Structure 1
Amino acid sequence: MSDSVSSILSQIRSYQNQLGTRALEPLPNPNAVDFGRPAVDKPASFSETLSNALQGVNNTQKEAGALAQAFELGDPRADLARVMVAAQQSQVVFRATVEVRNRLVQAYQDVMNMPL
């Protein structure tokens, strides 16, 4: 179970890096001195991270659709290989997002079913 959770978290981090957002990481110790990282005014909230991830999925799907449409219209810059790679990337990103959603719903249900 922990391997699958670690795998999902590493995928989320890689998607966030691709989107240019901050990766999910523990909050830094306020008493520790870290000379290697620039100071961050405010950490990204969960809702911002989720919104950015969903926006990235949407952008990936739009780009794949636009590339497929350009190929169908005969644009010489849109070759079949690029169209297929974009479609597969879009599909993988969407499946990962659905899996994260399923895990969040399951975690919510587990919390709601806990006895008081």
Structure 2
Amino acid sequence: MDIKSNSLYSQMQSMSLQAMGNKPPAIDVDAIGINGTASNTVGKINESSSNFGDMLTQALNSVNDLQKDSGDKKRAFEMGDSSVTLGEVMIASSKSGIALDATVQIRNKFVEAYKEIMSMPV
């Protein structure tokens, strides 16, 4: 499962817009100079109530929930629970496997980006 950098960037942009409620980011008009360039003052750009850390935590929690659900269904099926079918077990297992693979790929991209940033000359 190979994630291209442009595809990852566009997915991150769409997630950012989704987190902000599809509103463009707020621009601090006072931080823009006379010639249209931003001055040295650093203003808060993202006024949304959620931040990246919260979004990441929610994503990891949802992956964890899928893993728990898959394990519970497997256990129930193995114990002979007639309310859980083999199809449900296989679907839950596939969902949790895909979510875990995507999480690992995202982690790998973050580590790669971190290493690239750390190797940049200052």
- What TM-score comes out, normalization by structure 1 length? 0.71
Pairing 1:58–2:54 present: no
- CA drift of 1:77 comes to 1.2
Q: Which residue of 2 aligns with 1:92?
A: 98
1:81 is paired with a residue whose SS is helix
Q: 2:86 aligns with which of 80, 83, 91?
A: 80
Q: Which residue of 2 aligns with 1:28?
A: 24
> CA offset at residue 29 of structure 1?
4.2
Structure 2 CA distance, aligned partners of 1:114 and 1:66? 46
Runs of 4+ residues over 6 Å off in structure 1: none
State which of 5, 10, 19 in structure 1 corresponds to 2:8: 5
Q: Offset of 1:5 from its aligned partner?
A: 2.0
Note the residue ranges of structure 2 that are not aligned, 5 or more in a row. Answer: 28-46
How many residues are treated as equivalent by the alignment? 95
Q: For the residues of structure 2 that align with 1:96 and 1:115, how far apart are their CA atoms?
A: 31
Please, what is the CA RMSD of the aligned residues? Answer: 2.4
- Name the CA distance, whole Å, in 2 between partners of 1:59 and 1:71: 18
Question: For the pair shown, which has the larger CA radius of gyration, 1 or 2?
Answer: 2
| Alpha-carbon distance between aligned partners in 1 of 2:72 and 2:56, rounded to the nearest angstrom | 24
Task: Show structure 1 runs of 5+ residues with no match.
Answer: 14-22, 32-40
How far, CA to CA, are the matches of 1:113 and 1:71 in structure 2?
Answer: 50
Q: Considering Cα pairs closer than 8 Å and 6+ residues apart, tell me whether 1 or 2 has the greater RCO.
A: 1
Amino acid corresponding to residue 77 of structure 1 in structure 2: S
Structure 2 CA distance for partners of 1:29 and 1:90, relative to 1, 3 Å? closer
